[in-house]
């Protein structure tokens, strides 16, 4: 699960102090964090996974206070428990799609089961692209590959950053359904961070973020 308390963050000592509402998402639950540009959505996502450290407040993942861990320990914990679907996929272009799926295992120092990777790509309808370079995939196929990479290590928490950005209505529904199905398959909590108002009515559990103060 994810639980935060009284989170604040400051990029620069002379800049504005960003403050965030408390977040709680239980195992298997879905949460929408909705807000326009300038509300700190991506900053909050980075705080939730420990990529940023708060100025004050706390973030707990599965009962582990991230603030009590060293940077190296936070990185290991994130690699073991969190899957992130980025707005831009950030594939290693010199590797095949299947080899990109092996990166989380490599970073954790564990063996990668290629048959598991192929099975996930099959579930997502892109097994025929397994040995191609990511640049040869369509945008929709890259999104599916990004979902596969985020879920291949069966994380307990999945964070998705603007997964429907620039998609039409049909593609938006398909991508969100895939995220929900795949997160449910591994029993993960799913947190979607977005400005996309089309998703508002899909989730009863949502937090609407407001604009943050701007520096002078």
Neighbours of 2 (CB within 10 A): 22
Q: What is 6-61 written as a DSSP string?
A: EEEE-SSTTSPPEE----EE-TT-EEEEE--TTS-HHHHHHHHTTSS--SEEEEEE
Provide the pLDDT for residue 95: 95
83-120 tens-digit pLDDT? 999 887 789 999 999 999 998 888 778 889 999 999 98
Q: Taking the domain 2-88+142-208, which CATH number applies? A: 3.40.50.300
Residue written as token pair 């191609």: 132
Provide the pLDDT for residue 216: 47
48-90 tens-digit pLDDT? 999 999 999 999 999 999 999 999 999 989 988 999 998 877 8
> Where in the chain are the domains?
2-88+142-208
Mean pLDDT taken over the chain: 90
């Amino acid at each position: 699960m994810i639980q935060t308390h009284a989170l604040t963050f400051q990029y620069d000592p002379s800049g504005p102090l960003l403050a965030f509402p408390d977040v709680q998402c239980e195992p298997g639950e879905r949460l929408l964090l909705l807000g326009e540009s300038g509300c700190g959505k991506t900053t909050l996502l980075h705080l939730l996974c420990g990529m940023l450290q708060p100025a004050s407040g706390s973030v707990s993942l599965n009962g582990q206070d991230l603030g009590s861990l060293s940077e190296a320990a936070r990185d290991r914990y994130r690699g073991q428990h969190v899957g992130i679907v980025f707005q831009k996929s950030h594939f290693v272009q010199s590797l095949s799609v299947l080899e990109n799926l092996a990166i989380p295992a490599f970073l954790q120092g564990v063996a990668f089961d290629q048959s598991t990777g192929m099975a996930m790509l099959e579930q997502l309808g892109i097994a025929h692209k397994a040995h191609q370079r990511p640049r040869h995939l369509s945008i929709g196929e890259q999104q599916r590959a990004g979902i596969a990479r985020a879920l291949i290590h069966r994380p307990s928490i999945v964070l998705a950053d603007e997964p429907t950005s620039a998609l039409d209505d049909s593609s938006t529904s398909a991508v969100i359904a895939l995220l929900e199905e795949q997160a449910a398959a591994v029993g993960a909590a799913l947190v979607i961070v977005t400005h996309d108002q089309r998703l508002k009515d899909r989730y009863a559990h949502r937090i609407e973020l407001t604009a943050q103060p701007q520096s002078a």
